[in-house]
Amino acid sequence: MITSPSKRFLLLAGISVSVIGGSWFCSPAPEKTETADVSAPKALTPDELLARGKYLVNTNGCHDCHSPKVMTPEGPMPDSTRPLSGHPANSPLPAIPKDATKPGNWILFSPDLTVAIGPWGMAMAANLTADSATGTGAWTADQFIATIRNGKHLGQPGGRPLSPPMPWQLIRNFTDEDLTAIFTYIHSLPAIHNLVPPPVPPD
For the chain, what's the residue count?
A: 203
What's the start-to-end Cα distance of the chain, in Å? 117
Q: What pLDDT is stored for residue 67 in this prediction? A: 98
In whole angstroms, give the CA distance from residue 191 to residue 128.
9
Q: Along the 203 residues of the chain, how does pLDDT read in single tens digits?
A: 545 544 444 343 444 444 444 444 345 555 555 555 556 667 889 999 999 999 999 999 999 999 999 999 998 999 999 999 999 998 988 888 878 888 888 889 998 999 999 999 999 999 999 999 999 999 999 999 999 999 999 988 889 999 999 999 999 999 999 999 999 999 999 999 999 999 999 87
Q: How confident is the model at residue 20, as a pLDDT?
A: 42
Phi (first) and psi of residue 124, to 5 degrees: -115, 135
Cis preceding-peptide flag for 103 (omega within 30 of 0)? no
Query: For the stretch 80-117, what's the b/e string if a residue is b when 16 or more beta carbons lie within 10 angstroms of its beta carbon?
Result: eebbbbbbbeebeeeeeeeebbeeeeeeebbebbbbbb
How remote is the C-alpha of 129 from its chain's centroid?
18
Q: What share of the chain is helix, strand, coil (3-state, %, to 5)?
A: 35, 10, 55
Query: Does residue 66 contact residue 84 with C-beta atoms inside 8 Å?
Result: yes
Task: Evaluate whether 114 touches 87 at the Cβ level (below 8 Å).
Answer: yes
